[in-house]
Amino acid sequence: MATDTLPAPSEDAVRAALATVNDPEIHKPITDLGMVKSVEIAADGSVAVVVYLTVSGCPMRDTITSSVRTAVAEVEGVTGVTVELDVMSDEQRRELATSLRGGKAEREVPFAQPGSLTRVYAVASGKGGVGKSSVTVNLAAALAADGLKVGVVDADIYGHSVPRMLGTDGRPTQVENMIMPPSANGVKVISIGMFTPGNAPVVWRGPMLHRALQQFLADVYWGDLDVLLLDLPPGTGDIAISVAQLVPNAEILVVTTPQQAAAEVAERAGAIAVQTHQKIVGVVENMSGLPCPHCDEMVDVFGTGGGQVVADGLSRTTGTTVPVLGSIPIDVRLREGGDEGKPIVLTDPDSPAGSALKAIADKIGGRQRGLAGMSLGVTPRNKF
C-alpha cells in the first residue's frame, strides 16, 4: 500500500522560520542582519542552511547553529536540517555596523542625543563599601524582570565587580569597531574586567579612564534600552566628571549607609550635580539595619537616619526636593547573591532586602514608563 509523502517545503517557509531566530548578542533576526548566506532544499525535504557569523571566533556559534536547526526542523515537510557556518567579510561587517547605528558610520553616544528615551542613572557614592554595586546590580535585574530593556556600564574601572555580581562570565564580541556586550539575567553589561586577564589591576590615569568610558557608551551596541545604569567609582573624580560631559542628561542616584560619617561624604558626592547641572533622582540608604534573627527588632548596626540626612542636605544644596527612594536592611543573602552572581531580587524577592530593592526599582521603572508614555512611542530611545 502506497504511503503519502509531504511535499518539500518552500524556501519562503524556511526563510520565515529563520526570521524567528535572533542573533543571541545583537538580539535581532538573523535574516534582518544579513546572516543567512544560502538556503538549499532537496527533493526529499532535507534543508541545508549556510549562516554567516560576524567573526570567526564567535562565542555563540553553537547557540546559533542549534537555534537555526530547531527553527527549520519545525517547518512542515522538512525531513532533515544541516547547518554550515561561514564568516562575514570585512565589507559585510562594516555594512552591518553602519546598519545597527541607524545608517550613521560615525561613533556617537546615543544616550546623549536629542530624542533619546533611555533613562540614564549614574549610581554614585561618597566612599567605597556602602554596597553601591550591589544596589546597581539588583536594580538592573529587577527592572529587567519587570519587562524593561536594561544595560549596565561598570564604570568603576579600578574596582570593577559588576560581572561577577550579575552572574556573567561571557566575553564581548567585536564586529569592526562595534562591541557586542554579553547578557545575564536579561541585562546587557560591559566592564573593563572583561578585557583584562585574570584579576589583573588597571593602572590608568584620567585621560585613559575617560576614553574607556567613552568606548563603553559609544562603541558598545546597546540596542533599544529603556534604562542604562552606570556603576560609578566612589567620590567625585575623573569618571564622575566624564559622565557629566558624555551623558549630560544622566541623573544621579546616591547610595549611602546610615552613619553620619558616610552620610557627610555621600552628600559631597551628590553635590557635584550643582556644578555639572545634573538632576539627583534620589537617595538609597543601604545597610539600614539588621533584622534580629531571634526577635522582630531591628539592630541599627550603622546608626540611623543617614539617608534622610543626605536627602535633606542635597535638597538644600540643589534647591530641589531630593527624596529617599528606599532603605535596604542588612541581609546575608544579599551578600551571598553578589558572590554567586544571583541577585536577591530574583532568588528571594520577598525577603526584606529583596522587597526594598524591588520597591526602589518600581519607582525608577515607573519614571521611565511615564517618559515613554509622554512620547507615545514616536521617538526612538536611541539609534545605536
What is the C-alpha separation between 38 and 189, in angstroms, rounded? 33
Domain map (residue ranges) of the chain:
11-88, 110-375
C-alpha 295: how far from chain center: 39
pLDDT by residue (tens digit) across 167-197? 998 888 887 778 889 999 999 999 998 888 7
- Domain at 11-88: CATH code: 3.30.300.130
Tell which phi-psi region holds residue 343, choosing left (phi > 0), alpha (psi between -120 and 50) or beta. beta
Known binding-site residues equal 126-133
Helices (H), 42-198: 61-73, 90-100, 132-145, 162-166
Question: Residue 290 in contact with residue 241, Cβ under 8 Å?
Answer: no
Q: How far apart are CA 57 and CA 184, in angstroms?
A: 20
Start-to-end CA distance of the chain, whole Å, equals 60
SS3 of residue 6 by DSSP: coil
Please enumerate, by residue number, every residue annotated as part of a binding site for ATP: 126-133
| Max Cα distance, the chain (Å) | 90
Strand-pair category, 187-191 with 183-184: antiparallel
Per-residue pLDDT of 305-317, as tens digits, reads 889 999 999 999 8
In contact, 122 and 243? CB cutoff 8 Å: yes
pLDDT digits (tens, 9 = 90+) for 105-131: 556 888 988 888 899 999 998 888 899
Task: Return the CATH class of domain 110-375.
Answer: alpha beta
pLDDT, position 370: 61
pTM for the full predicted model: 0.76
pLDDT at residue 68 above 90?
yes
Cα(290)–Cα(301) distance, integer angstroms = 7
Model confidence at 378: pLDDT above 90 = no
- Per residue in 245-281, pLDDT (tens digit) is 899 999 999 999 998 878 888 887 788 888 888 899 9
Q: What type of residue sits at position 130?
A: V
Q: Which grid cell sits at 154?
A: 561598570
| pLDDT value for 3 | 46
